[in-house]
Amino acid sequence: MSTGNFKFEAKGHNWVQNDVWTAVDGYTMGQLHPSSKPNASALQNALDASKAAGLPDISASPAQSKFMALQCRVLGVTHALEVGTLGGYSAIWLASENPQMKLTTVEFDPHHVEVARKNIEYAGLSDRIEVIQGSGLEVLNQLKKEIEEGKRPKFGFFFIDADKPNNLNYFNLAVEMALPKAMICVDNVVRGGRLIDQSLTEPRETAGRILVEGVAKDPRVESVVMQTVGEKSYDGCLWAILKTDA
């Protein structure tokens, strides 16, 4: 088997893929989440329909998505918030693996929202996944207001995968809407090691360092960055848990 790398590009996004990483993901997911699983058809439809609609191939990988869904199951999450819907793939993972959970997901692009809602309807999850179209910061501030007014419950899990320069802003808003012991996952922090490259000064590249250094000073959470490899390249997420006395 070849162990070479190759560069993959998708509408301005690029990453290095390794055929062994991809093969391992394919083998393990094929064994542990085969096509006979109840949600497999809906998940594949979300990928296929999103590609046909011209959406970029930047959703979370199957392995990462299932891992997040299992975290929600362990925590007994009943309400979750996602920032960055894309085509609804990760939302379908989270909700379909957690029948007790309602998910609110926020997406800026109206075309992505349209595709996601169709994919979610196909999955039979429209009653448990709420897709809100709008600016992430504006929507999250509105959700925070609704929570403060008692119109919406706090969230037990957050997945942040949207415009990277706002990662720390999203994180801070998430903490303010979180239950004690809630989990927050921020995607694409390591970015192939570019996280620690001080020569990169574009906002999209410095966002990871701003996030990590900002969270490091936050007494409300305990956090860690986990590096990963797989079919979606070498990357990693910041994971945080809200302290019970926050």
Q: For residue 215, how far is the Cα from the chain centroid?
A: 18
Q: For residue 187, how far is the Cα from the chain centroid?
A: 6
pLDDT, position 17 = 78
Contact predicate 105/85, CB 8 Å:
yes
pLDDT, position 82 = 99
CA dihedral sign, ordered 230, 231, 232, 238: negative
Neighbours of 137 (CB within 10 A): 16
Contact predicate 89/96, CB 8 Å:
no
Tell me the C-alpha distance between 103 and 123, whole Å. 14
Q: For residue 52, how far is the Cα from the chain centroid?
A: 21
CA dihedral 221, 225, 228, 231 (to 10 degrees): 60
Task: Let me know if 38 is exposed, middle or buried by CB neighbors in 10 A (0-12, 13-18, 19+).
Answer: exposed
Residue 66, CB half-sphere, CA atoms under 13 Å: how many?
A: 13
pLDDT, position 4 = 55
pLDDT, position 9 = 45
pLDDT, position 5 = 55
Residue 104: both structure tokens together: 């609110």
Residue 30: both structure tokens together: 């094929």
List of E strands, 11-91: 13-18, 79-83
Tell me the C-alpha distance between 98 and 107, whole Å. 21
CATH architecture of 17-240: 3-Layer(aba) Sandwich (3.40)
DSSP state of 235: E
Strand pairing report for 129-133 and 155-160: unpaired
Q: Dump the DSSP string for 68-99.
A: HHHHHHHHT-SEEEEE--TTSHHHHHHHHT-T
Q: Which residue has the tokens 């997420």?
A: 237
Local confidence pLDDT in tens for the 246 residues of the chain: 444 554 444 444 556 779 999 999 999 999 999 999 999 999 999 999 999 999 999 999 999 999 999 999 999 999 999 999 999 999 999 999 999 999 999 999 999 999 999 999 999 999 999 999 999 999 999 999 999 999 999 999 999 999 999 999 999 999 999 999 999 999 999 999 999 999 999 999 999 999 999 999 999 999 999 999 999 899 999 999 999 876
